[in-house]
Structure 1
Amino acid sequence: MQETGQSMDSVLKSIRANFVPIHREGYPFIAILAFVTLFLGWLWGPLFWLGLIVTAWCVYFFRDPSRVTPLDPDLVISPADGRVSAVGPCVPPPELELGTAPRVRISVFMNVFNCHVNRAPVAGRIHRIAYKPGKFLNAELDKASEDNERNGLVIDSAHGQLGVVQIAGLVARRIVCFTREGVQLSAGERFGLIRFGSRLDVYLPEGAVPLVAEGQTAIAGETVLARFGTASSGAASGVRID
């Protein structure tokens, strides 16, 4: 009996280790879709399977996996899952108050199949949070940085002020920010989420060298976007952000 109990505990631990948690922002959507699925199935059997597929996609969309973030303070980590859509100089949005001089901007585009939980690219204190209403153009378009609804954070890091901007997209209709001004963030710590498909722009301080190219796939909390200086110590180690 003892061996059986130990075996069951081992199985349960294995299931928990492989289960990807769902972010709480997704619970209302999943519950509504599940109810609609049952109702459609009651009306006509085949509709149940269609609703089940949509519900399963919603569960998948709101997944919130743990990530192992590099500990090197000289690194800038991707704040989003997705594809690097732009790397180059650009003037930061005026509401961030980062000046009018161009900075290196790295954009990461998230489609509807990417995980949409956003993470801090560097450790530091949130100096400013600025929300700006706007349009809902395709987030892959360069003018989306100027015209679309967005929410920007300015982080006081060890290497200067860094801007990170959540940008709504063609389908996205809700930007969620979990944090507030004055809060100290760790690199890789969750700070927000966007529903459903969008983009994040990172405006680097002077001295940061981009390490990614357009078209590259990025993983939030893990992929290194840029580096300050030449030090490489600590880049291979990481901390798990649950």
Structure 2
Amino acid sequence: MFHKEGYKILGIAITICVIINILSYTFINVEWVNQLILAATIIMFLLVLQFFRNPKRQTLVSDHNIVAPVDGKVVVIEEVFEKEYFKEKRLQVSVFMSPVNVHVTRHPINGKVVFSKYHPGKFLVAWHPKSSEENERTTVVVKNNAVEVLYRQIAGALAKRIVNYAKEGQEVVQGSDSGFIKFGSRVDLFLPLNTPIDVKLNQKVKGGLTVIAKV
């Protein structure tokens, strides 16, 4: 299954591939060159295709679990001062996504969206220390009876568009689609300081499945 955000790009990609091959077979009379171009365009299209995959995940919904919002590798677990919404110290857990990861963002908890804001910005590499504050990003806060969690989608050097579906006042279900980031980036989670963390640095996680922490 593929994400709806990819339909237009996939359509453009397959059109470009077809045009390239028509021109190749029209103007190049060397068979092995034509076959090489055909193979290259097929590989290119498959790479774009895999980027927009959207596997169905059976999230074990629980108000006591905070699940990974995205697929990727845990690159940060540290205490920081969150200055946009909480304006106090929080425990930050960051997940970096490479271009080969699934790029669907999922709600880490059940609850009500109490804050949702888009910030235009730069496109520093996603692991840059300042990317969380200077890059294009969206900040979403979901709250339930057990916990209030902020998660931030951050565009990377290749990501040129962040899609955010979370609207203030909306009731959301843990593991459901919250957004999409195109072509490599990261997501930061901000949790209460006393939250027991269930993951380690460099651990690979899956959005909607891996439990990041328990409350």
Q: TM-score, normalised by structure 1?
A: 0.82
Q: Is the Cα–Cα contact under 8 Å of residues 129 and 181 in structure 1 kept in the other structure? A: yes
Give the counterpart letter for 1:56 in structure 2: L
Matched, 1:60 2:77: no
Identity of aligned residues (%): 33
- Following TM superposition, the consecutive aligned residue runs of length 4 or more in structure 1 with deviations greater than 3 angstroms are none
Greater mean deviation of Cα atoms: 152-161 or 163-172:
152-161
Match in the other structure for 1:34: 14
Q: Hey, what's the Cα distance between the residues in 2 that align with 1:70 and 1:142? A: 33
Structure 1 residues 214 and 35 mapped into 2: Cα distance closer, same or farther (>3 Å)?
A: same
Q: Hey, what's the Cα distance between the residues in 2 that align with 1:218 and 1:206? A: 21
Q: Which runs of 5+ in 2 are unaligned?
A: 25-33
Q: Is the Cα–Cα contact under 8 Å of residues 61 and 112 in structure 1 kept in the other structure? A: yes
Q: Hey, what's the Cα distance between the residues in 1 that align with 2:211 and 2:11? A: 36
Match in the other structure for 1:163: 150
Greater mean deviation of Cα atoms: 30-39 or 201-210:
201-210
Q: Which runs of 5+ in 1 are unaligned?
A: 1-20, 229-242
Match in the other structure for 1:147: 134
Structure 1 residues 206 and 184 mapped into 2: Cα distance closer, same or farther (>3 Å)?
A: farther
Matched, 1:98 2:81: no
Q: Hey, what's the Cα distance between the residues in 2 that align with 1:206 and 1:102? A: 7
Q: Hey, what's the Cα distance between the residues in 1 that align with 2:51 and 2:44? A: 10
Matched, 1:88 2:78: yes
Q: Hey, what's the Cα distance between the residues in 1 that align with 2:110 and 2:194? A: 16
Query: What SS class does the counterpart of residue 106 from structure 1 fall into?
Result: strand
Match in the other structure for 1:126: 113
Q: Is the Cα–Cα contact under 8 Å of residues 156 and 184 in structure 2 kept in the other structure? A: yes
Matched, 1:200 2:160: no
Match in the other structure for 1:69: 59
Q: Hey, what's the Cα distance between the residues in 1 that align with 2:4 and 2:170? A: 21
Q: Hey, what's the Cα distance between the residues in 2 that align with 1:68 and 1:142? A: 33
Query: What SS class does the counterpart of residue 152 from structure 1 fall into?
Result: strand
Q: Hey, what's the Cα distance between the residues in 1 that align with 2:54 and 2:128? A: 27
Matched, 1:113 2:100: yes
Give the counterpart letter for 1:204 in structure 2: L
Match in the other structure for 2:2: 22
Matched, 1:176 2:163: yes
Q: Is the Cα–Cα contact under 8 Å of residues 107 and 172 in structure 2 kept in the other structure? A: yes
RMSD: 1.1
Q: Is the Cα–Cα contact under 8 Å of residues 134 and 150 in structure 1 kept in the other structure? A: yes
Task: Give CA-to-partner distance per residue, 1:28-82, whole Å, 9 cap, x none.
Answer: 1111111111111112223222111111111111000111212331111000000
Deviation at 1:102, TM superposition (A): 1.4
Q: Hey, what's the Cα distance between the residues in 1 that align with 2:57 and 2:48? A: 21
Deviation at 1:206, TM superposition (A): 4.4
Give the counterpart letter for 1:176 in structure 2: V
Deviation at 1:162, TM superposition (A): 1.1
Give the counterpart letter for 2:86 in structure 1: L
Matched, 1:211 2:198: yes
